[in-house]
Chain A
Amino acid sequence: MRRSLLAIAFGIISVLVAPTVAWACGGLVAPNGAVNLVRTATLAAYRNGVEHYVTSFQFEGNLSGKFGSIIPLPGIPSRVRRGGEWTLQRLQLEVQPPVRTAALSADSDGAAAEAQVILEKKIESLDVAVLKGGAEEVGLWAKNNGFFLPPDAPEVLEFYASRSPILMAVRFDADRARRQGLTAGDGIPVHVSIPTPNPWVPLRILGLGKQANERVEADVFLLTEGAPTMLPVPVKGASRGLILDRQELASESLLADLRSDRGMKWLPRSGMWLSYLKIDTTAGKLKHDLAVDSLGIADPSPVAAGLVLPDLNLDPPESSTGWWAWLLAALSGATGLVFFDRFAIKG
């Protein structure tokens, strides 16, 4: 009963909040522009050496055919499962209470080998595959599985391949979604558990498939065992870039609500820190990820942040002010990539 009530409550809230919050809008567009894969918020949590990604894939437009996205991961997942019913909505509620939301709404102005498949999972109308391989291998896998990668994919895939050869490809089957009663705007949460000593959140992937001047917006929630340090360092009170909107000890009521959701029992009842970050930048400025030291006792790795290449002492890209761009995580889960149906090729 509690689950049902929570689901209903958060469902309603999410509808109310939707027009006003900075839902991360992805650029996953089918060739004809009729379908968008919309990124919502993402949770990146770290406890006992395991990074948990919870993100939701939401689709808008005329659903047909198949398309998807790719999410770089910091390690090989131990488990991929359907996410809970209200985790992301509850986090949104925590940072944007409905009373405040209502007020806002009133004045809203607004040829290599193919990558190795090491894990496959069907989650409703999503086909999830965890891949291991470099840019060439992933490119070949995508091609052989009927998708096109956007033109910026070679550079982005190489960026990630130098740090982690693990990617999660998520393919959306619109026909299956229709049979399952999914309609535009419905979200499918996915929860990925990744054992890793070095957590980071993929942000650059958020700009995949976008033109350099296109806007990238995302909400990222971090849950960690201490007040985390991050790189690039998010800015409090900034209006654009990587913004640290809130960082505080997570309330016991929040943790209790999250624990009551599917697959979230790993969370403790208390003692976790909540960090809420917003990303508001352009794809051209989002060239890095977000490195996190979950206890806040060490400096996050510039390599994990994508600011320095592994084994190469390269200077980070100009302006540190542009680094904010990252965070995220969420990436939407990180999501980022969109594939194009091969039969819709132009030329």
Chain B
Amino acid sequence: MLSACALMGACTAEAGTTAETVDVEIHYSRFDPTTFEFAAGTTVTFRITNTDPIDHEFIVGDELTQDRHEIGKHASHGDLPGEVSVPAGTTRFTTYTFVRPGPLIIGCHLPNHYAYGMRADVRVI
């Protein structure tokens, strides 16, 4: 999956109920891939590798969720599905089930990161 995503610049997963693993790299404060597509009902485990020398976050959710995190005060994440802090130079996992079709966003909300462009688009079909 990582190879396919890297080559395509986007990641697409087939529908299904089985959990699958999708690799995501964070480099220069950008997600790679920057777009994802999943079938509704798919459960995905994201394996996120942060190659930057600074910390990041990986937050899956709709715009409301992103807005909430943008003004939030949580120093770290990890307890909720699809929300995890990824310290510098580490790999972290988070699992999320894409229940309904529609657009979602993956973002990082450490100070100024989202405005810098640290987001990826998710299309759930």
Contact = CB atoms under 8 A, between A and B. Distances in A.
Given A140-B53, A346-B73, 20 more contacts: A111-B87, A111-B90, A136-B89, A137-B53, A139-B53, A140-B88, A143-B88, A148-B110, A149-B53, A150-B111, A151-B108, A151-B113, A151-B116, A151-B118, A157-B53, A340-B111, A345-B75, A346-B72, A347-B57, A347-B73
Interface residues of B, number: 32
B52 A154 contact: yes
A152 B116 contact: yes
B53 A347 contact: no
B111 A344 contact: yes
B71 A346 contact: yes
A302 interface: no
Contacts of A111: 87-90
Interface residue SS majority, chain B: loop
Nearest to A342: B75
B106 to A, nearest CB: 14
A138 B54 CA distance: 9
B55 interface: yes
Contacts, number: 86
12 contacts: A31-B111, A137-B53, A138-B53, A139-B52, A149-B53, A151-B108, A151-B112, A152-B28, A347-B72, A347-B73, A347-B74, A347-B110
Interface in A128-143: 135-140, 142-143
Interface of A: 31, 111-112, 135-140, 142-143, 148-155, 157, 209, 211, 340, 342-347
A288 B3 CA distance: 33
A186 to B, nearest CB: 26
Nearest to A30: B111
B69 interface: yes
Contact of B54 (A112, A153, A344): A153
A346 B54 contact: no
Which of A151, A153, A157, A345 is most buried by chain B, counting CB atoms within 10 A of its CB? Answer: A151
B100 interface: no
Interface string B25-43: 0011100000000000000
A135 B51 CA distance: 11
Interface string B75-113: 111000000010111100000000000000000111111
